[in-house]
Structure 1
């Protein structure tokens, strides 16, 4: 009986962590997961290599959302989103240069974001010390219909 209880608790926790995240069944997660590991390339906008805003622009272009190839330009788009209200597909911004907006990623749920960093396309946690200290804010650039078709599970 104890093993069954532990199994049920484990499954409950797993399901709870999946709530609010871009899961394997969403188009967003599927698109991002195919890009993990692609090398960083300053100015890069293709699967040969991405910089941070080239990565976000590439992903959103797949969903017919046009973004400029600049983290500052992307920061000027959409509507502000409080950190507590983040949903998959929101853009998250950081000051990594000491001079304002200089890095962008895509929130994928569970406090994580996908981005192209020096180690290539990866997923990081917003609470990682480096990013937590540099977090500037978030923007929602997808309308409700796009969000529903892209970031919600479609099993």
Structure 2
């Protein structure tokens, strides 16, 4: 018999807390919400949360935080705080990522804006076609809809 057959009787005999402990020891297949919690713990998701926490921080050309950012400075700062060092510029960051298609993008991936083959801007994908980024002089870190189809996607490895 598989472990799944015994789960209902375990719930009755052991109680919810004990079952969650058993699930943690034996795997996450019985723990409700475990996949979401595991995803939230990934490096890209940590970086995304860090970028979002900088909402409203002013743009500063060449700034890498913690209080002012340019576009690649925000991604550099967010991933560094999450535990991964990235190069300084958007183009260098693009060169360092694993390139993925739009259909495979996930929250926490980097979104690179390009003209021809030159990358000129970067943000962190937040889902639903939006990014966290530091757009330009006079602006602040914000969540914004991707405004063009001239983007590449990269996954930090």
TM-score above 0.5, yes or no: yes
User: Which position in structure 1 is the counterpart of 2:129?
Assistant: 111
Normalising by structure 2, we get a TM-score of 0.65
Q: 1:29 to 1:54 in 2, by over 3 A?
A: closer
Aligned-pair CA distance for 1:28: 4.2
More helix by share: 2
Q: 1:136 to 1:29 in 2, by over 3 A?
A: closer
Q: 1:76 to 1:36 in 2, by over 3 A?
A: same
- Structure whose CA Rg is larger: 2
Any unmatched runs of 5+ in structure 2?
Answer: 1-35
Partner Cα distance (1:125, 1:139) in 2: 18
Q: Taking CA–CA contacts closer than 8 Å with sequence separation of 6 or more, which of the two structures ends up with the larger relative contact order?
A: 1
Number of aligned residue pairs: give it: 114
Point out 4+ residue stretches in structure 1 off by more than 4 angstroms.
Answer: none
Normalising by structure 1, we get a TM-score of 0.66
